[in-house]
A and B are shown apart, each in its own frame.
Chain A
């Protein structure tokens, strides 16, 4: 592990917001209202009219979720490789370079230690902006190390998932096996009697949903997030049936019994702190 690195909560540290259209005004994809961008940002990227939760970059999330200046980033030195020499219409190696330049990250996960209302926690976040938050070897390794550190330090583990496709195709079977690797590490964290809170954000699909995202002692989800195993197109191609209203949303999962609570982004800090207190850490 490398030395502590800080992610500051001050505004001067803000990176360009991704996934949010440029300009003073933006249009909410849910209620179609034209909203003042600054106001949306002041509400943690949530629409002031309808509470639609916009995408939030991992760094901004750390700033929002953790106590000011409390985050110490770990394992910043892991860089993805191209073990399959994968080439579709473009080379994976080139795709990685483009994603790194676009996001200013080496891969899709940030992990480290911080405090939530004074409670120490280990945090891992996948960022949808980097290859749709998909899990390859680096994401798998960083989350696994984070879980192992949390076990060693006997700290609660908080993973915030956002992943469109789940396991990353371009690293083939190695990506699929990250699901097993991280599951085993979470199993040990569990065995040690430590708390794991999984927070699901839009979207959490495929191999990420089918591994660490749904292995929490407590599973929370932001409102309106898309959460599921198979993609809608795959399902439609198989069953050729109209998908029900609200299919694979947080509310759908709550109704079917797969998550504990739907929590508005502004309340996440408080909710996590409450749960940590109940679980005796």
Chain B
């Protein structure tokens, strides 16, 4: 079934999907699949393969934000069993943009933490499009500590445009709660696997994004700032021209992050993006998670934490000069 909301760069694809749908609906099922239908299916596949193997950074951002793209609760439905949602941060409230709870994945009992954006307008409003408040980050850390206490691995599914920018969020310590999560996750004594399933929006993503394995779905993005925000600052205005420029400059695709050695793996998406085949996507994700749950289970905790420390310790690109530089704070230093 063709996705309900088409992306602006998918005009050719959309036309062909419509044509195919019409032919399939009109056809007499007893006659089997006609040669015509088979030909169009092949062409559609070729078109999708061509387009999706070479998305621009800005197109990737649009796919990552697609309304029908599977979200945390879709994965709960598709691959996790016996989800026991745990609400509340024990201080302020229950953030609906971040969901947490026990879940089973095959033989593993895990703590699942994930952003939820919602598919319908009603859900979007409830979840604030996946923009969590300090309550969400506090809740996430509470549940992660609970997981560590009972030796359950933590799975974080990241999908947020960013932490919520609002008056209440600032009053209740948005920066403070994210800062605390970064520090505590860096030493949480249980395995943590993080996957960016859609949008990896800056501090709001990193706030549940420190772990032992970091992966991105093929068409997800992960960035220090949204392309809109970056365009607004560096190009002075966010327009249809400047947003793609900012997206490209930020190097925010899964391939970019893999090349920069920030993520460990890129998880392949079904042809034409996760939103076209959520079930297939979920199964690929499940296989990935199981592989690393098995691998990480065998590493003693002190070693796991040492590896986690090393993993972040090496990130960064700079030049290390062999002699002190006269350009540095030297006018003061030499005095």
Contacts and interface: CB of A to CB of B under 8 A. Distances in A.
Contact of B166 (A179, A181, A239): A239
12 contacts: A5-B324, A8-B335, A88-B235, A141-B318, A171-B224, A173-B257, A176-B206, A186-B183, A210-B203, A230-B169, A247-B167, A256-B171
Contact of A183 (B179, B223, B332): B179
A250 to B, nearest CB: 13
Given A12-B335, A172-B252, A183 B186 contact: yes
B179 A173 contact: no
Contacts of A243: 167
A108 to B, nearest CB: 11
Interface residues of B, number: 69
Contacts of B250: 84, 169, 172-173
Contacts of A244: 167
Contacts of B183: 183-184, 186-187, 190, 215
Interface of A: 2-3, 5-8, 10, 12-13, 15, 58-59, 73, 76-81, 83-84, 86-89, 100, 104-106, 110, 137-138, 140-141, 144, 165-169, 171-181, 183-188, 190-191, 206-207, 209-215, 227-231, 234-235, 238-239, 241, 243-244, 247-248, 252, 256-258
Contacts of B171: 252, 256
A80 B317 CA distance: 7
A12 to B, nearest CB: 6
B318 A137 contact: yes
Nearest to A230: B165
Contacts of B31: none
Interface in B280-335: 308-309, 312-313, 315-325, 327-333, 335
Contact of B224 (A137, A167, A229): A167
Interface of B: 163-167, 169-176, 178-180, 182-184, 186-187, 202-203, 206-207, 209-210, 222-225, 229-230, 233-235, 245-246, 249-252, 256-257, 260, 262, 308-309, 312-313, 315-325, 327-333, 335
Contacts of B328: 73, 76-77, 105-106
B331 A104 contact: yes
A59 B329 contact: yes
